[in-house]
Amino acid sequence: MGDPRKPRKKWEGPKHPWIKERLEREIELVGQYGLKNKKELWRAETMARRLRHRARALLALPEEVRGKAMRSLLDRLYRMGLVEKNATLDDILGLTGEHVLERRLQTIVYKKGLARTIYQARQLIIHGHIAIGGRRVTSPGYLVSRDEEDLVDYAPGSPFKERQAIEETG
């Protein structure tokens, strides 16, 4: 089962560390999504890479064996919000780290207009001003499922929620 104090590594860094084009793209994505460091980017890219690998493994299986496993993978990714309802394995093969970054709580808070900037969204989450369905979430990297997306709002008792109520009535 493994030592609980030593969790498995959730990311893989780049194979070659000094490729200029990749470094420039990484810096741009870190700024665009307000990430703390490149490890958060690599975690998203690793997740997308593992999903693509799983889809390729399913494509290698015979058609009659592939059906149930393919359907369960597509349903899981639909609930996560990474693919659409009528997606195919080819859509999974097209997943990138940016698709995963779009599902982070930090990005969703910014896109819903609860924060003025992507950096303020991160700060609001860390300081406990954001909740999902009334439950406070303090991790900006939390992946928001399709069901939870509409439940993202200010936390109960947050001064931002009170200010929002005043603005709506006044």
pLDDT digits (tens, 9 = 90+) for 90-99: 999 999 999 9
Residues 88 and 127 in one domain: no
> Tell me, what's the pLDDT at 4?
81
pLDDT band at 79 (very low <50, low <70, confident <90, very high): very high
- Cα–Cα dist 163/13, whole Å: 42
Residues 93 and 109 in one domain: no
Residues 113 and 95 in one domain: no
- Cα–Cα dist 46/53, whole Å: 10
Q: What is the DSSP letter of 24?
A: H
Structural domain count of the chain? 2
Q: What is the DSSP letter of 7?
A: P
> What is the side-by-side strand order in the sheet with 152-154?
135-136, 130-132, 152-154
pLDDT band at 8 (very low <50, low <70, confident <90, very high): confident
pLDDT band at 1 (very low <50, low <70, confident <90, very high): low
104 DSSP β-pair partners:
143
Residues 27 and 69 in one domain: yes
- pTM (predicted TM-score): 0.92
Residues 77 and 112 in one domain: no
Residues 31 and 94 in one domain: yes
Domain boundary among 100, 124, 143: 100
pLDDT band at 25 (very low <50, low <70, confident <90, very high): very high
